[in-house]
Structure 1
Amino acid sequence: MSQENKNTSNTKIKPPKFNFYWIYGIIFALIIGYQLFSSDSMSSKNLSQNEFETILEDNDIEKIVIVNKDIANIFIKKDALDKEKHKKNVSSIYASNSPMYYYNFGDLKNFEDQLKLTKQENSLDFDLKNEEQTNFLEQIFMYLPFIFLIGLWIYFMRRMSGGGSGGGGQIFSIGKSKAKLFDENQKVKTSFKDVAGLEGAKEEVQEIVDFLKSPDKYTSLGGKIPKGALLVGPPGTGKTLLAKAVAGEAGVPFFSLSGSDFVEMFVGVGASRVRDLFKQAQQKSPSIIFIDEIDAIGRARGKNNMTGGNDERENTLNQLLTEMDGFGTDTNVIVIAATNRADVLDKALMRAGRFDRQIYVDLPDLKERAEIFKVHLKPIKLDKDADIEFLSQQTPGFSGADIANLCNEAALIAARKGKKAVHHQDFLDAVDRIVGGLEKKNKIISPREKKTIAFHEAGHATASWMLEHAAPLVKVTIVPRGQSLGAAWYLPEERQIVLAEQMLDEMCATLAGRAAEKLMFDKISTGALNDLEKITRQARAMVTVYGLNDKIGNITYYDSSGQSEYSFTKPYSEETAQVIDKEISELIEVQYQRAIKILSDNKDKLITLAELLLEKEVIFKNDLEVIFGKRPFEKEVFHSEDSSKTENSSETVE
């Protein structure tokens, strides 16, 4: 076969797939065509009164058929068809058994009397008949509105069924499970190698994989594998990715769906879908069921005051509880769920025998962030100056999804600048873009405002350089970015616990921006809104959450269960509230005065730094070392599992 013939055979247009609705359309078209072409009005001519009376008196009429007491169909005698006046009225589709004329006579009684009288006077021999006929087309048009409404109802019912399995989206399949099945025909290619970091979580789920691969290893000793594992953690930390890796490693049927897939507007559909899901999983055991965002159906019952006792979500949750505790361990069906709102889940769902294990998927630490960077940097063309270690230090508090977004943003910035590879500076620009927002160099700022912003940011930089526990500075800028008029970027250390001295130093450095305005201009502006919000939240946490205040003592008013949001009363008295407010105010005021003292002692360096900022607009750590000298507080950095948010001081003018 030649190449041309091969191409012809490959590009051969496939005929459209057969659809059963075509048969309905053909039948309907045939009925309409039959009614149209078999209709008497298609081959008959309408007569006027004079024409009718002339034909009647000439005795050319064989018979008159009155149809539905409305129209008279007139049949002409065969020997009269040869007359010239009838020949010219013969239609091309005229048949001998059909009427040649029809006549709208008006009142039936008068018409019959006229026929009777004329027949007697002229000795006519025509026949007269009355018939009742039904026009199918007229009947369709009569019931067309009802047919349209029924068709519209069927259409919406099909759409609301969501295309569930087992019936191509028909209304009768609405109670079927909408889970997507991954089995030997459609394998999950993700493995634990694709999941960077999360070592502790991977250890936990590895046992589930081992059980599914070799269950006899555990059951021979009398052990039972946990029936369910709940992945809990902040958004973007890799819970769904970890579940995909479990499916890829185990090599067993994997049913994946979201918690919202159970929810429908029809009563009882959610419970029906739960039953169908577990029935399918048992038929394909050993298997895994993964329910993402399970808090959509697993919320604690009775907490929602807007709904009654017959809430559809509660019925779905009840069915899920029954199914999880109903099947035996010999079916080898394991349920894995993910949520970032474990505090709102029902206690019955969390008990032993259902979700036996909670696996906390935390934000990555310094070492794990470096591993995540290596995974997401594989498809990116990197320049030699790219420093992964520095980037992992520069991104505390970033989740895996944030790091993936950062790498993509850096590649876009490099492409926008026409570079052949992604440089280290592109990653730093991407961090600034994500944390601070879009740079706005064309924003109109008066010289006086610019000077105020420069001293404000110089105050942050000076205080953080002089305070032992404040985070070391990386960059200061007075270029507007996002909603901020200026910003300072720091490199906070990885901390597992935070001391009171560290929190106080951070508060002092944050207040130093406003303190610099007060010291240099003897005036304060609205530019420190973000700073005030941050230190007020920090001071309130020290007093009411962490128990770091002498007056309040070793008491916390923090509720980790999250149930306090349903309460309308405070967990302390009015007298205690007054003491809390006073202590928070004093705590902030002491650090404000401390910041003013530090800046007063280093006023000349503060002015030099502010003038350099006005000149360059962006300064780095090296510029501060020229002005202040080496920072006196050098610390050894330990890898820790705690991640703090990037210290970003931004000012928003309102």
Structure 2
Amino acid sequence: MAKDNNPNTPKKPRFSSWWIYGVIIALILGFQFFGSATFSNTEKTTTSEMQEFLRNGDISKIVIITNTRKAKIFLTDEALKKDVHKGVSEKSLLPSTGMVPQYILDYGDLQIFQNEITEIKKENNLDTIVEFDTESNIFGDIILSLIPFILIIGIWIYLMRRMSGGGAGGAGGQIFNIGKSKAKLFDEKTDTRTSFKDVAGLEGAKEEVQEIVEFLRNPDKYTSLGGKIPKGALLVGPPGTGKTLLAKAVAGEAKVPFFSLSGSDFVEMFVGVGASRVRDLFKQAKDKSPAIIFIDEIDAIGRARGKNNFTGSNDERENTLNQLLTEMDGFGTNTNVIVLAATNRADVLDKALMRAGRFDRQIYVDLPDIRERKEIFEVHLRPIKTAETLDLDFLAKQTPGFSGADIANVCNEAALIAARKERKAVTKQDFLDAVDRIVGGLEKKNKIITPEEKKTIAYHEAGHATVSWMTEHAAPLVKVTIVPRGQSLGAAWYLPEERLIVRPEQMLDEMCATMGGRAAEKVMFNKISTGALSDLEKVTKQARAMVTIYGLNDTLGNITYYDSSGQNEYGFSKPYSEETAQKIDTEISKIIEEQYQRAIKLLEDNKDKLTELAERLLEKEVIFKDDLEKIFGKRPFDKVEEEVKVEEIKPSEDQSPE
């Protein structure tokens, strides 16, 4: 039968359970209305009026309802013809059968009311009938007794519908559909399509996932040689490096069904729901195979079993993980369903999840190097209106250690800064301001600083700049400022050399430059302040890493206490003795003090240049590399630019303000 696609064809109304509720309410109202319709021609009266009617002989019968304190007044046929009763006679819908009263009244005390009627009958010699009766509303009583149960059942159904995440009538709206999978099926026709062209850098990771897509498109190319389809691929890397973006590109490129969901979507307040959703997800994927399942933040359900389970109870998350392990290992080789997952905490995942046959491939998505950062800038600069042709190599050099998300934030922040300054296009300076804003924080020019504090800050930052200029392996200076930013009162920006490995002399030079701020305060004022907190934190971490992680200390020798598996954090004891702990503390303090004294000596030897630099900094508030060259001359350690290497230093250590 052909489907009628004519938009003018009237659509049949869809059946809804709300119709049933409406019919029930209408029936209740109807019963109530028609149940009282028999008294629609009855008027209310008072006791005094009733006594007057009784004296005139208009009343044929009075029915006293003892349980409701009401009285029904029935008139004679002659009385209905009188003008005084014209209202009730015209309103009467039914002939007077003696069943429908013309008046009804509320009385007070029954004995007094009865005595008044008896007295009037005796005085006027009346034969009016007086009867006593009781009334009960059976239907109303039934409704009142059922209302609490109806309300409880209604609230329960409403809550179940809300928790199952669906509306009435839909598949997810049924009470027992709470165990259904919440995975979103990617539709390439309606959803925003992301391709591999939109993913800059990540060449190795792209190659791996492209092969997975190709495997699903053309499996014979691989199976003809005896190869088997991989069960799963795990994307691992720091936050913001593009793991989820890579999965979106797979969804856009693959011409197969793509199920996307988060690890937390399996979690529910009911027991067994997580495992049920895993079963339903894989059932859907098998029905639509070849297909891809993407689970973002898989550590929400994939955490190693048995850790932090002090209660000994059966953990619902473990049940979900067990079901996931069973489903992944239960695939046949011809089902053509691949599981992609992403996490930045691979160290906490269960070993059974990481074994071959489940996640066959682990794809590490690292921070981009300078070449990849340039490609990422090209992608994010497409929608931005720039005032000039930007030097992307320069921008890539200014953002060492930035992730793809950080670079996207830089481009967006630059556009916002340009709009704030009423510019028609984004300039190079806007990008530099955006980098400063992201690295150092918001500029606070109105912060109240005394002249003495400002002078101390200027010498502190000049000390950093001087020592870094005088040491060979310290990072080259970009600029120095004493304008407060974020939580810092001053900052020195450096451009670290990107290297794969770091030698002890390089780390020591960096520590010496970091201690240059406090050393300058000591040399110039013979006093020190709390302004070197971030410097002390940084050098302490570096010295501890040299001693306990990298084995770069002669006293302790070639030994490390670093545990890459992350098991140490669950233990309550240190991996070394108390005697070794004392040695570690002594060596850390010794390394820091040596570099501090070295910085003091360098500054004492160049005290006049330090003073000149600090005075210029007080005058301009912001100075650049050119200002240092005018004072110190050409830096003797500057190298001719070579091909840039991948950087090992983290962004918090690279370009954080001192």
Could you tell me the TM-score, scaled by structure 1's length? 0.90
The 1:555/1:41 distance shift into structure 2, 3 A limit, reads farther
The structural deviation recorded for 1:27 is 4.9
1:442 maps to what in 2? 446
1:41-60 alignment, distance < 5 Å: 42-49=40-47, 51-52=49-50, 58=57, 60=59
Matched, 1:399 2:399: no
1:508 maps to what in 2? 512
Secondary structure of the corresponding residue to residue 329 of structure 1: coil
User: 1 CA distance for matches of 2:507 and 2:68?
Assistant: 100
2:3 maps to what in 1? none
User: 2 CA distance for matches of 1:113 and 1:214?
Assistant: 104
Q: Is the 8 A contact 2:51 2:120 kept in 1?
A: no
162, 165, 169: which one aligns with 2:165: 162
User: 2 CA distance for matches of 1:91 and 1:175?
Assistant: 65
1:83 maps to what in 2? 82
1:526-545 alignment, distance < 5 Å: 526-545=530-549
User: 1 CA distance for matches of 2:188 and 2:585?
Assistant: 63
1:367-406 alignment, distance < 5 Å: 367-384=371-388, 386-406=390-410
28, 40, 62: which one aligns with 1:31: 28
1:223 maps to what in 2? 227
User: 2 CA distance for matches of 1:240 and 1:321?
Assistant: 22
Matched, 1:547 2:551: yes
Matched, 1:21 2:6: no
The structural deviation recorded for 1:319 is 1.2
2:625 maps to what in 1? 621
Matched, 1:640 2:638: no
The 1:578/1:41 distance shift into structure 2, 3 A limit, reads farther
User: 1 CA distance for matches of 2:194 and 2:408?
Assistant: 17
Counterpart residue type for residue 21 of structure 2: Y
1:135-214 alignment, distance < 5 Å: 136=139, 140=143, 144=147, 147-163=150-166, 167-183=171-187, 185-186=189-190, 189-214=193-218
Q: Deviation string for 1:190-228 (max 9, x for gaps)? A: 111111000011111122111100112222222111101
Matched, 1:102 2:104: yes
457, 461, 464: which one aligns with 1:457: 461
User: 2 CA distance for matches of 1:374 and 1:569?
Assistant: 49
Counterpart residue type for residue 445 of structure 1: I
Q: Is the 8 A contact 1:547 1:553 kept in 2?
A: yes
1:4 maps to what in 2? none
Count residues in correspondence: 639
Counterpart residue type for residue 44 of structure 1: T
Secondary structure of the corresponding residue to residue 98 of structure 1: coil
Secondary structure of the corresponding residue to residue 24 of structure 1: helix
2:296 maps to what in 1? 292
User: 2 CA distance for matches of 1:37 and 1:565?
Assistant: 75
User: 1 CA distance for matches of 2:365 and 2:251?
Assistant: 18
Q: Deviation string for 1:417-444 (max 9, x for gaps)? A: 1222211111111000000001111111
Counterpart residue type for residue 541 of structure 2: R
Could you tell me the TM-score, scaled by structure 2's length? 0.90
Q: Is the 8 A contact 1:363 1:398 kept in 2?
A: yes
Counterpart residue type for residue 303 of structure 1: K
Counterpart residue type for residue 43 of structure 2: K
The structural deviation recorded for 1:621 is 0.7
The 1:188/1:115 distance shift into structure 2, 3 A limit, reads same
User: 2 CA distance for matches of 1:15 and 1:437?
Assistant: 59
TM-align CA RMSD: 3.0
User: 1 CA distance for matches of 2:314 and 2:92?
Assistant: 68
User: 2 CA distance for matches of 1:188 and 1:415?
Assistant: 27
The structural deviation recorded for 1:99 is 2.0
Secondary structure of the corresponding residue to residue 222 of structure 2: helix
Q: Deviation string for 1:475-529 (max 9, x for gaps)? A: 0111111111100001111111111111000000000110011001100011000
The structural deviation recorded for 1:84 is 3.9
Counterpart residue type for residue 284 of structure 1: K
User: 1 CA distance for matches of 2:460 and 2:421?
Assistant: 32
Matched, 1:92 2:91: yes
266, 271, 283: which one aligns with 1:267: 271
Q: Is the 8 A contact 1:547 1:555 kept in 2?
A: yes
458, 467, 470: which one aligns with 1:466: 470
The structural deviation recorded for 1:316 is 1.2
User: 2 CA distance for matches of 1:465 and 1:17?
Assistant: 77
The 1:24/1:76 distance shift into structure 2, 3 A limit, reads farther
Matched, 1:247 2:246: no
Q: Is the 8 A contact 1:530 1:649 kept in 2?
A: no
Q: Deviation string for 1:425-467 (max 9, x for gaps)? A: 1111100000000111111111111111111111111111111
The 1:415/1:493 distance shift into structure 2, 3 A limit, reads same
User: 1 CA distance for matches of 2:170 and 2:273?
Assistant: 15
User: 2 CA distance for matches of 1:244 and 1:388?
Assistant: 26
Q: Deviation string for 1:596-644 (max 9, x for gaps)? A: 1111111111111111101111011111111111111123444333342
Counterpart residue type for residue 567 of structure 1: G
The 1:607/1:93 distance shift into structure 2, 3 A limit, reads farther
The structural deviation recorded for 1:85 is 4.0
Secondary structure of the corresponding residue to residue 331 of structure 1: coil
The structural deviation recorded for 1:409 is 0.6
User: 2 CA distance for matches of 1:466 and 1:589?
Assistant: 18
1:61 maps to what in 2? 60
Matched, 1:351 2:355: yes
Counterpart residue type for residue 18 of structure 2: Y
User: 1 CA distance for matches of 2:503 and 2:243?
Assistant: 31
The structural deviation recorded for 1:362 is 0.5
1:326-337 alignment, distance < 5 Å: 326-337=330-341
User: 1 CA distance for matches of 2:268 and 2:90?
Assistant: 61
- Larger mean CA deviation between 31-40 and 421-430 belongs to 31-40
494, 499, 502: which one aligns with 2:503: 499
Residue identity (%)? 72
The 1:93/1:324 distance shift into structure 2, 3 A limit, reads farther
User: 2 CA distance for matches of 1:174 and 1:186?
Assistant: 27
The structural deviation recorded for 1:285 is 0.5
Counterpart residue type for residue 101 of structure 1: Y
Q: Is the 8 A contact 1:183 1:251 kept in 2?
A: no
